[in-house]
Amino acid sequence: MIQKTLLLVLLISSQNLFSQQLPQYSQWYANQFVGNPSHAGIKRCIDVHTLYRNQWVGFSGAPKSGFLTVSIPLYKQRKQYLSARHGTGFKFERDEIGQFSTSRLNIAYAAHFNFDKYKRLSLGLYGGVVQMGYNPATVHVANIDPAVLSEASIVAPDASFGTWFNDQNYFVGLSLLNLIPTKWNNVGVNSKNFTHINLNAGYRLGANDNMSFIPAFMLRVPTRGKANIDLNLLWDYKNTLSLGLGYRSTDALIAFVSIKINSQFALNYSFDYTLSDIQKAAKNTHEISIRFSTCKIKKERTASCPLF
* Confidence at residue 84, expressed as pLDDT on a 0 to 100 scale: 79
Residue 137 confidence (pLDDT): 67
The confidence score (pLDDT) of residue 286 equals: 96
DSSP string, the chain: -HHHHHHHHHHHHHHHHHT--S---TTGGG-GGGT-GGGTT-SSS-EEEEEEEE-STT-TT--EEEEEEEEEEE-----STTS-EEEEEEEEEEEEETTEEEEEEEEEEEEEEESSSS-EEEEEEEEEEEEEEE-GGG---SS--HHHHS-EEEEEEEEEEEEEEE-SSEEEEEEEE--S--B-TTTSTT-B---EEEEEEEE-EE-SSSEEEEEEEEEEEESSS--EEEEEEEEEETTTEEEEEEEETTTEEEEEEEEEETTTEEEEEEEEEE-SGGGGT--EEEEEEEEEES----GGGTTS-TT-
Over its length of 308 residues, how does the chain's per-residue pLDDT go in tens digits? 333 343 344 444 444 444 457 899 999 999 999 999 999 999 888 999 999 999 988 887 889 999 999 999 997 666 666 777 899 999 999 999 888 899 999 999 999 998 988 899 999 999 999 998 887 766 666 566 555 666 778 899 999 999 999 998 999 999 999 999 877 766 555 667 789 999 999 999 987 778 999 999 999 998 877 899 999 999 999 888 999 999 999 789 999 999 998 878 999 999 999 998 887 778 899 999 999 998 876 544 444 555 65
Q: What is the pLDDT of residue 14?
A: 40
Task: Give the per-residue pLDDT at 88.
Answer: 97
Domains in the chain with CATH codes: 2-301 (2.40.160.40)
Residue 142's pLDDT is 59
